[in-house]
Each structure stands twice: as C-alpha cells, then as structure tokens.
Chains A and B, each alone.
Chain A
C-alpha cells in the first residue's frame, strides 16, 4: 500500500524480500545498506535471534531520487523464512507494493523454494492481492556455489520450478559479494514505482 504525500511531495513504497530460510534476504539488504551513501539510506533495523536468523523483519529505508517532482522513498523489508513463522510473514506483507522472491540454489532446498512461493501466493491472497498482478522479480542467489562440489539447481530447473507460471524477470546473484543485488533492486523499484504511478499519479494527479 503506497503512501502518496502531496504536502511533502513524497511517494513511499514497500518492497518485501521473500523466500525460504537462509536464502540470503537479509544479506541482500546488508549489501545495499553498506554500498549506499548515508544521504540515500536510512537506518537499517534488524530483529533477529541469537543465531542470526530474522525473527520478525529487517527494514531498510532508501531515497531513490525524484520522478515528476516527487521524491521516491522505498522501504525494503525482509521476512523470516522458516516455515513456522508464516503468521509473521503475513503481517509483514500488509501493504506491500513490490516483491523480490529470493530462491536458494541448493538441490536440497528445491522443495523449500517451491513451498515458499506457494506460501507467498497464499499470504498475498489473504491480503486480497494477486501474485500475477503485483510487481515481482525472482533472484536466484548463491550462484557462486555452482562451481563447487555442492549439488545445486541449474537456472533451467529453477525457472521450471518457480517461473513457469509467473514469467517474470529473474536475476542471478551472489548477495555476499553484491553480484546481482543492485540489478534486482533496480528492476523491482522500477516495476513498483511504475505500478504505483499508473494507479495514481498518471491518472488522478
């Protein structure tokens, strides 16, 4: 749910990084936080457990410049990926304007990736949102593992499992070193701002 503040000439959008536990959602936000100038980012808020797993959510507010005289402010959120935290994921999705689904390439996590996407569809439904309509991009993370002996999924397998129906953009990434992180962010913010603008700014204001 975007907030359009005409008195301050600001548009606030909420983008949520979703995906199974340990796929690298928080790592994406940390990389973005470390790479951006202080002037373009707010404070990063993290609520995690002692084991460094996200307990509630992470939040990173960003300023992305102006479009048509309006300041674009994006709030990036993550959700806890573990299956048992479904209720928390649902809470964080409230008012979402755009989504990044981060998938884990480990062969042993194949089912988790598919279950996570089903969980997302279900939770969006609960908020009256249609996964086919809301801006969404996929990120296939940890691609550095492909060159190691660890069994991983190929891009074709990931596409077949997750993107056959969605037919959305995907990005290969290594979030720990930043590969693909900003490409993913750029695409989802572009899609989200366009989605919000088409709904309000281009027609009503």
Chain B
C-alpha cells in the first residue's frame, strides 16, 4: 500500500466533482477516505453548518468496510462493494472506489438511495483517475 500525496489541484478537482454530483443533488456530506482511514476530501457539511467528526467517521468507516470484506469472504464472495445504513433522520452510504478509496455519503430522506448509488458509481472512475492515476 503506497503513501498518498494529495496536491492542491487533485483536491480541488475531487472536491468539485463531489459538490457538483452529490452535494448539489441534496446529499448533506460527502467524505472521500482511503482504506487506512485518512480523509482525502470532505464536502458539504461546512456549507450546511453540520458538525461532523470526520477523523472518527473515516477510521470507523474504513474498519467497518474492512470487516465487511472479511464477512464477504466467509460466505464465498470476494467483497461487498457497498454498505448502507438507514437512520431515523439520516442515512449513510459507503461505496468502494477502486482498490484503495471509499466514498461516504450522508443524506436525508429527501434524497433517494437509488440516486446516491447512481451518482457514486458515475463518480468512481473519475475520482479513481485523480488519485490512483
């Protein structure tokens, strides 16, 4: 697993993609992390004044998805590519992007899961290109 070096240009590109595709569609927060739990890009909550502990969220999400991969292997799957939790006031969706990245989206009932899944899968290729080349 190689170290990540993020340039200002890469961060701006990724941020713009997340804002245009997800935040403008009504998603509250989009957080791009790596599988070691580092935050690569964090959009949305600042504009909406929602306080999110991104460091804890990233560490837990990376660990949760890694645990899910092990569960997948136990039942004969290579991996589960997404994970979704539904809450009373908010929902959270975790999607894998390439080998090393994870895109976390937090959204309310005003946004459909289908739209989020669709947008995340549309974004996957361009985001992987920015960070993984």
Contacts and interface: CB of A to CB of B under 8 A. Distances in A.
A5 interface: yes
Interface in B23-73: 34-40, 53, 55-56, 59-60, 62-63, 66-67, 70
A90 B9 CA distance: 33
* A interface SS class: mixed
**What range describes how many residues of B lie at the interface?**
20 to 34
9 contacts: A1-B38, A3-B36, A4-B3, A4-B6, A43-B56, A75-B55, A77-B59, A91-B70, A196-B3
A200 interface: yes
Contacts of A56: 63
Given A128-B1, A196-B3, A199-B3, A95 B63 contact: no
A148 interface: no
A84 interface: no
Contacts of A205: 5
A91 B63 contact: yes
A3 B38 contact: yes
Nearest to A12: B38
A82 to B, nearest CB: 16
Given A1-B34, A75-B59, A200 B3 contact: yes
A92 B63 contact: yes
Contacts of B56: 42-43, 45, 59
Contact of B8 (A3, A6, A92): A6
Interface of A: 1-7, 12, 14, 42-43, 45, 56-57, 59, 61, 75, 77, 87-88, 91-92, 94-96, 127-128, 196, 199-200, 204-205
B31 to A, nearest CB: 14
Given A7-B8, A56-B63, A1 B55 contact: no
Given A3-B40, A14-B37, A94-B35, A57 B63 contact: yes
A44 to B, nearest CB: 9
A94 B59 contact: no
B10 to A, nearest CB: 8
Nearest to A10: B6
B99 to A, nearest CB: 12
B11 interface: yes
A26 to B, nearest CB: 15
B63 to A, nearest CB: 6
